[in-house]
Amino acid sequence: MSVSGKKILIAVSGGIAAYKIHFLIRDFVKKGADVQVIMTPDAEQFVTKLSLSTLSKKPVYSDFYGENGTWNSHVELALWADVMVVAPCTANTLSKMVHGMCDNLVIATYMSAKCPVLIAPAMDLDMYVHPSTKKNLELAESFGHTIIPAESGELASGLIGQGRMAEPSTIYNVVEKYFQEELHSNNFEGKTFLITAGPTYEAIDPVRFIGNHSSGKMGFSLAEEAAKRGAKVILISGPSAQTIIDPNVDVYRVTSAKEMLAKVFEFYDKIDIGIASAAVADYAPKEVAKEKIKKNDENLTIELVKNPDILKTMGEKKKHQFLVGFALETQNEEENAKGKLAKKNLDMIVLNSLRDEGAGFKNDTNKIKIFTKTEKVEFDLKSKDDVARDILNFVESQLLK
List pLDDT tens digits, range 131-188: 999 999 999 999 989 999 998 888 888 888 888 999 999 999 999 988 877 766 778 9
- Asked about 72 being catalytic, the answer comes back as no
Question: How far apart are the C-alpha atoms of 353 and 373, rounded to whole Å?
Answer: 20
Position 244 confidence tier, pLDDT thresholds 50, 70, 90: confident
Question: How far apart are the C-alpha atoms of 111 and 131, rounded to whole Å?
Answer: 24
Confirm or reject CATH 3.40.50.1950 for domain 7-184, answering yes or no.
yes
Could you tell me which residue, 383 or 120, shows the higher pLDDT? Answer: 120
The ranges of the chain annotated as CATH 3.40.50.10300 are: 192-289+300-399
- Residue 358: predicted pLDDT: 62
Question: How far apart are the C-alpha atoms of 55 and 23, rounded to whole Å?
Answer: 9
- Residue 365: predicted pLDDT: 83
Instruction: Indicate if the alpha-carbon torsion angle 59, 65, 69, 73 is positive or negative.
Output: positive
Phi, psi for 252 (deg, rounded to 5): -120, 125
Mean predicted confidence (pLDDT) in 284-295: 92
Share of the chain above pLDDT 70, in %: 97
- What is the CATH code of the structural domain delimited by 192-289+300-399? 3.40.50.10300
Mean predicted confidence (pLDDT) in 208-236: 94
Position 258 confidence tier, pLDDT thresholds 50, 70, 90: very high
Give the residue from 254, 182, 259 showing the smallest Cα distance to 3. 182
Give the chain's length.
401
- Residue 223: predicted pLDDT: 96
- Residue 385: predicted pLDDT: 86
Instruction: Indicate if the alpha-carbon torsion angle 326, 330, 336, 340 is positive or negative.
Output: negative
Contacts by residues 141-146 (CB-CB < 8 Å, ≥ 24 positions apart): 143/98, 143/117, 144/116, 144/117, 145/116, 145/117, 145/118, 145/119, 146/116, 146/117, 146/118, 146/119, 146/174, 146/178
Whether 92 has a pLDDT exceeding 90, the answer reads yes
The ranges of the chain annotated as CATH 3.40.50.1950 are: 7-184
Active-site pick, 72, 187, 212, 336: 212
Mean predicted confidence (pLDDT) in 196-207: 96
